[in-house]
Amino acid sequence: MTRRFRFALSGSCALLAALLCALYGQHVRDEAERVRAEALERYGGEVVRLVVAPEGLDVGEVVDGRNVAERDWLADLAPDGAVVDLEEVLGAEVTIPAAAGAPLTELNFRDDEDAVEVPSGRVALSLPVTDGLGLPPSAGEGTALAAYRVSDTGVSLVSADLQVLRAPGERTSVGARGSVTVAVAPEAVASVLSASADGSLRLALPADDAAGLAEGSGIAPTSVPSEEGAGVEGGATP
């Protein structure tokens, strides 16, 4: 086997691998959109068009037509201050990172004086406060929370270490009862966003001796709202 042939073979394999990765990524995105569309159809309710960062946005990035997209979102599950008009943020510089798949909000474009301080190694998420979220009334800035997903099959721990950065504000035209801004570990962002989007997210205030719950332990505090108490029928999803 000549060196030229080996180089050609290696290049072909690399190209094939890149192509397969791209096809797989597109398949995953298409499947996610299909599941989301089915969930929206099952849940019903008013749907709004929000501006979303499919791949996420870092501080200093400028919004353009390539790094954001418009997607349907249930109005009751839209975060407070969600961006509904792409033209309003085109050319705007991001001051607080946006997680992949998360709707853009006013939080992502706050100036230095009004911006929240995100702890190192964390991602700030703005979550809509709905009847079923179970956010403790006493949860203020700095409060540590645990996040759970409630489904027909049971309750599972999503993240044992959320921190409140900004308490809920007043209700706006988009969003149920304002939103709460929390700091989340990067590895938990996708799970928290997914649970929030389908209405299965529940927040709880753990006791001091429960703060060390390990991720995935399956142990849920008694304060987690049940499906009946949350006012959501059958674990309604968007």
Say how far residue 63 (Cα) sits from the centre of its chain.
Answer: 19
The pLDDT, as a whole number, for residue 180 is 85
Whether the CB-CB separation of 172 and 178 falls below 8 Å is answered with: yes
Q: Answer yes or no: is 56 within a domain.
A: yes
Q: How many CA atoms lie within 13 A of 88 on its CB side?
A: 13
Q: Answer yes or no: is 145 within a domain.
A: yes
Q: Answer yes or no: is 88 within a domain.
A: yes
Tens-binned pLDDT, residue by residue, of the chain (238 aa): 676 666 666 767 777 777 777 676 666 666 666 665 665 555 455 778 899 988 888 888 899 888 999 988 877 777 778 898 888 888 888 888 888 888 898 888 877 555 667 888 888 888 888 878 888 888 888 899 999 999 888 899 999 889 998 887 544 444 445 678 899 998 888 888 888 888 889 998 887 655 444 444 444 443 444 444 443 333 333 3
Alpha-carbon radius of gyration of the chain: 20
Domain limits for position 52: 43-230
Q: Answer yes or no: is 181 within a domain.
A: yes
Q: Answer yes or no: is 111 within a domain.
A: yes
Q: Answer yes or no: is 192 within a domain.
A: yes
Encoded tokens for 233:
């029928």
Q: How many CA atoms lie within 13 A of 185 on its CB side?
A: 12
Q: Cα-Cα-Cα-Cα dihedral of 86, 87, 91, 92, to 10°?
A: -70
Name the domain count of the chain. 1
The pLDDT, as a whole number, for residue 172 is 44
Q: Tokens 């929206």 appear where?
A: 40
Strand 144-151 vs strand 154-166: parallel, antiparallel, or unpaired? antiparallel
The pLDDT, as a whole number, for residue 147 is 93
Q: Answer yes or no: is 29 within a domain.
A: no
The pLDDT, as a whole number, for residue 7 is 61
Whether the CB-CB separation of 136 and 203 falls below 8 Å is answered with: yes
- 201-204 β-sheet, strand order: 123-128, 179-184, 154-166, 144-151, 201-204
SS3 track for 143-184: CEEEEEEEECCEEEEEEEEEEEEECCCCCCCCCCCCEEEEEE
Query: Which secondary structure element, helix H or strand E, spans residue 72, and what is its range?
Result: strand 69-74
Q: Which amino acid is at 177?
A: R
Whether the CB-CB separation of 221 and 146 falls below 8 Å is answered with: yes
- Cα 70 to Cα 103: distance, rounded to the nearest angstrom: 9
Q: Answer yes or no: is 34 within a domain.
A: no
Query: Which residues face 73 on adjacent strands?
Result: 48
- Cα 224 to Cα 226: distance, rounded to the nearest angstrom: 6
